[in-house]
Amino acid sequence: MFVVSDYPLAVVLCVVTMLCWGSWANTQKAAGKGWRFELFYWDYVFGVVILATISAFTLGSHGSTGRSFLADAKLAHFEMILSALAGGVVFNLANILLVAAISIAGMSVAFPVGIGLALIVGVGVNYDWQDPDPAGNLALLVTGVVLVTGAIVCNAVAYRRLPGQDRGLSTKGLVLSVCCGVLMGFFYLLVARTLFNDPLRPQDGFLSPYTAVYFFALGILASNLIFNRVIMAKPFVGEPVTWNDYRKGTVWQHVLGVLGGVIWCVGMTLNIVASTEATPAISYGLGQGATMVAAIWGVFVWREFRDAPRGTNRLLGLMFLLYLAGLGLIIAARIPEAKKPPQPAAELTATPPATPWYHG
């Protein structure tokens, strides 16, 4: 399988993740306001599963490094599979809320508030996962979280200044973004904890990045059969939609949905692959730069704040500065200072890999 053993390459892959995660929602915008997000989301999920499956049987199965996808899945412990599936379920619920918020409030609001909050929550839950005495600068970490919080507040204030917004509707967009952020902060750890520590020496029971993403995608698909059907019948905004409405979509609208899922899953796959070298914390932190990518699309391409009153641009500019500064400090705070963090406790009980260097 394809693995990353070079830190600069891992960083490049994380930057690609940032671009993918910050850009996939353009496919929803391009599908048009007449194409409800509940209908778009079925195709999006199909795109995620398609890309995860292709990756598992190509990059995850060919090459002289590690072991193939099918062999890896056969040796996986049920606990690890269940954790990856659970990551997909948590992510799916959070992402449905995000897509709903985009349809109500726009990309330049839903991403900074929802994913910005996810970054704050994610840093908190991941801080001491690998080490009871985590490496990193706590002062930088706290300062970064405070700056990101300030960016979220600036974005929320700017959004409420838009003219012609129904107060109840605008509040719903913000509430959905907040709920998305709380849930989104937990999914990554559920997937990252299933990975074996060294892809060059795979451990029985743990998963390769491609196997983890595959089961993660299956968790999204299975939960979507419940979550999205409920939302179709009881939508956040508007009238209920049915499968007949889905079948009325144009070929282009369905293609855009699948493309959105493929773009997002490319980012997820590369991020998980890079995490074995860059560490999950750094990979996650860099990936969350997607917020600024999405905000740039929303502000400068889709012109979501074109009718805002004077002074709003200053708030948006401050939002960008605070978020970028906060993200930089959080990433810097999570870089190990002098040693590689020890293996998670679960890995210490795994069956030792049968490789030549191991002598018992």
Tokens of 249: 């979509």
Rg of the chain in Å (alpha carbons): 20
Cβ contact 47:259 at 8 Å: yes
The pLDDT tens digits for 245-293 are 999 999 999 999 999 999 999 999 999 999 888 777 778 777 877 878 8
* DSSP β-bridge partners for residue 76: 205
Half-sphere exposure of 78 (CA within 13 A, CB side): 0
Higher pLDDT, 59 or 171: 59
- Mean pLDDT, the chain, rounded, equals 84
How far from the centroid of its chain's Cα atoms is residue 319's Cα? 21
Q: How many Å apart are CA 282 and CA 335, to the nearest integer? A: 7
The pLDDT tens digits for 102-132 are 878 877 778 788 888 888 888 777 665 554 5
Torsion of CA 268, 299, 41, 49, to 10 degrees: -20
Q: How many Å apart are CA 21 and CA 59, to the nearest integer? A: 20
Backbone angles phi, psi at 5, to 5 degrees: -120, 15
* Residue in the structure block whose two tokens are 């930089």: 328
115-136 burial, b at 16+ Cβ within 10 Å, e below that, comes to bbbbbbbbbeebbeebeeebbb
The pLDDT tens digits for 68-94 are 999 999 999 999 999 999 999 999 999
pLDDT of residue 85: 98
Q: How many Å apart are CA 157 and CA 12, to the nearest integer? A: 34
The pLDDT tens digits for 164-217 are 655 555 678 888 999 999 999 899 999 999 998 777 788 889 999 999 999 999
